[in-house]
């Protein structure tokens, strides 16, 4: 079945045809200076869905995602402090500790969302040599020049800039609040490599003295190292279009004359009250914040499927709580089919499968795909064949629909303590105390049920 993807480069849906038999993808990964929020994770849920849809269509993948642990300045356009260095100062830690700490938490959250891990996860600081080589090639080809601040890319050498976005370079400059750097040949020239001030911690020897990479060069260096000069798909959030991805394209043209990816795919924002969820605006929630309210990470993933990835999605707790209930219904619905004994026609299964496949192949239309899933769940006959079909759909959803319904009750601290005490009493075979504790827990509004599968707790 034809797979169509929306390509930001052509501004239209296009049939997907891979360059060769393994689909090569590059995704811009997190800047690990703080906890990733659920807005960031919307972009990675989208990336996961893309991977899963490609696999569903029978493709093998080679996918690289970077971890930005140096070089991402406060503004995407080379202004301000390095985000990791700033966090290190604030937390009084070494920048490598900061990066490692937040990378580990990011990857744990990644797994909680059952995001299919890219084949390659690569750190910027492990690729300094490749970046220096990349910058040197750009300079050798006449697209880069040195100033007292660093090595800059000369955009006037390009046939066209920008190519991904419609923005007018002059408009951007007129509206910008940045100080004009008189050494730059063109106001839009951007930093490839930055000379480090004396007190800068993360810096490396280079042909241009002690210095550190610009943010854009890391993605160019790592994507070309792992995927070659030209690969199939590049993903990121829409905030990457005007600067980061534009500059990655410029760098690649300056080095080898090619646009690095054939298809550019961008996920729209998760918003709060209509505005972007972002660390700088201070309106963020993490997966842990959701869990505190009894919302499972996978329920958040299901929430993401309520809107097409190219549309904005507004986050509300009511919406996420509703998704939590929906996830439980989905799992219960799967179990009902699994235990069902009805027969269903093969043609019905094929019809459902065809509709689902068409939806995901129409540039990952997950809201439509989910409506097919719900049609199967609600189908009046309960059949093992439909359970099998749901499991097949779950290869794309990654919602673990065959896992037991999680107990996502918010249990107060005092009740948790009583539960722990009761566990100890039972280990000591003190049944009298165990029963007393059960009654006290009941007085607090919670019922304990002991079964072969272990203890379960419910609201009274
Ligand atoms: P960062 O760690 O800031 O480099 O961002 C990591 C990823 O999250 C990038 O792909 C961003 O485009 C994406 N992102 C950041 N904020 C949001 C948001 N509110 N909604 C969707 N994606 C976002
Ligand atoms: Zn990137």
Band of the pLDDT at 446, cuts 50, 70, 90?
confident
Atom of ligand 1 nearest to the CA of 277: 19
pLDDT at 75: 64
Of all residues in the chain, the percent with pLDDT exceeding 70 is 93
Mutate to test the pocket of ligand 1, among 28, 43, 70, 248 (most ligand atoms within 8 A of CB): 43
Q: What is the Å distance from ligand 2's center to 65 Cα?
A: 9
pLDDT at 408: 53
Atom of ligand 1 nearest to the CA of 72: 4
Residue-wise pLDDT tens digits, 118-174: 999 999 999 999 999 999 999 999 999 999 999 999 999 999 999 998 776 555 544
CA 324 to CA 129: how far, in whole Å?
A: 46
Looking at every residue in the chain, the average pLDDT score rounds to 91
28 near 386, Cβ under 8 Å?
Answer: no
pLDDT at 426: 85
Angstrom CA distances, 69 to 3, 10, 195, 219, stand at: 35, 32, 17, 12
Q: Region 336-359: what's the mean pLDDT? A: 97
Domain 4-267 bears CATH identifier 3.90.440.10: no
Residue-wise pLDDT tens digits, 324-346: 999 999 999 999 999 999 999 99
Query: In the predicted model, is pLDDT for residue 15 greater than 70?
Result: yes
Query: In the predicted model, is pLDDT for residue 455 greater than 80?
Result: no
- Return the domain boundaries, the chain: 4-267, 274-408
Taking CA atoms only, the protein residue closest to ligand 1 atom 5 is: 30
pLDDT at 177: 47
Residue-wise pLDDT tens digits, 227-250: 999 999 999 999 999 999 999 999
pLDDT at 174: 42
Shortest CA distance to 377 belongs to which of 324, 327, 337?
A: 337
Band of the pLDDT at 175, cuts 50, 70, 90?
very low
The more confidently predicted of residues 111 and 89 is 111
CA 355 to CA 347: how far, in whole Å?
A: 12
Mind giving me the DSSP string for 85-101? HHHHHHHTS-HHHHHHH
């Amino acid at each position: 079945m034809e797979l169509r993807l929306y390509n930001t480069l052509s501004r239209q849906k296009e049939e997907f045809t891979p360059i060769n038999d393994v689909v090569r993808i590059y995704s811009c990964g997190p800047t690990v200076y703080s906890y990733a929020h659920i807005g960031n994770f919307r972009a990675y849920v989208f990336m996961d869905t893309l991977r899963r849809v490609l696999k569903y269509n029978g493709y093998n993948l080679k996918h690289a995602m970077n971890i930005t642990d140096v070089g991402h300045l406060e503004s995407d356009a080379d202004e301000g402090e390095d985000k990791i260095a700033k966090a290190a100062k604030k937390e009084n830690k070494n920048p490598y500790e900061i990066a490692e700490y937040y990378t580990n938490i990011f990857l744990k959250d990644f797994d909680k969302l059952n995001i299919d891990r890219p084949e390659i996860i690569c750190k910027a600081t492990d690729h300094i040599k490749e970046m220096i080589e990349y910058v040197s090639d750009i300079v050798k080809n006449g697209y880069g020049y040195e100033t007292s601040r660093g090595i800059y890319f000369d955009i006037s050498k390009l046939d066209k800039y920008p190519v991904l976005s419609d923005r007018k370079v002059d408009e951007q400059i007129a509206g910008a609040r940045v100080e004009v750097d008189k050494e730059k040949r063109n106001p839009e020239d951007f930093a490839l490599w930055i000379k480090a001030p004396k007190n800068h911690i993360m810096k490396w020897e280079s042909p241009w003295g002690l210095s550190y990479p610009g943010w854009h060069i890391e993605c160019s260096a790592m994507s070309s190292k792992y995927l070659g000069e030209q690969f199939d798909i590049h993903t990121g959030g829409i905030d990457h279009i005007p600067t980061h991805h534009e500059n990655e394209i410029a760098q690649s043209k300056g080095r080898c004359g090619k646009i690095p990816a054939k298809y550019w795919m961008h996920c729209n924002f998760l918003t709060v009250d209509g505005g972007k969820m972002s660390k700088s605006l201070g309106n963020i929630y993490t997966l842990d914040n959701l869990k505190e309210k009894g919302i499972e990470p996978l329920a958040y993933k299901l929430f993401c499927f309520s809107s097409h990835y190219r549309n904005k999605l507004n986050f509300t707790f009511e919406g996420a709580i509703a998704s939590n209930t929906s996830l439980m219904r989905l799992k219960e619905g799967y179990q009902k089919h699994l235990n069902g004994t009805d027969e269903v026609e093969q043609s019905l299964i094929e019809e459902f499968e065809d509709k689902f496949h068409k939806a995901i192949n129409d540039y990952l239309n997950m809201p439509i795909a989910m409506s097919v899933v719900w049609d199967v769940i609600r189908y009046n006959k309960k059949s093992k064949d439909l359970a099998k079909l749901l499991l097949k759909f779950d290869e794309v959803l990654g919602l673990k629909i065959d896992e037991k319904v999680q107990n996502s009750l918010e249990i107060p601290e005092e009740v948790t303590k009583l539960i722990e005490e009761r566990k100890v009493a039972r280990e000591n075979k003190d049944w009298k105390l165990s029963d007393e504790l059960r009654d006290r827990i009941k007085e607090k509004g919670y019922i304990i049920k002991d079964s072969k599968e272990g203890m379960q707790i419910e609201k009274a």
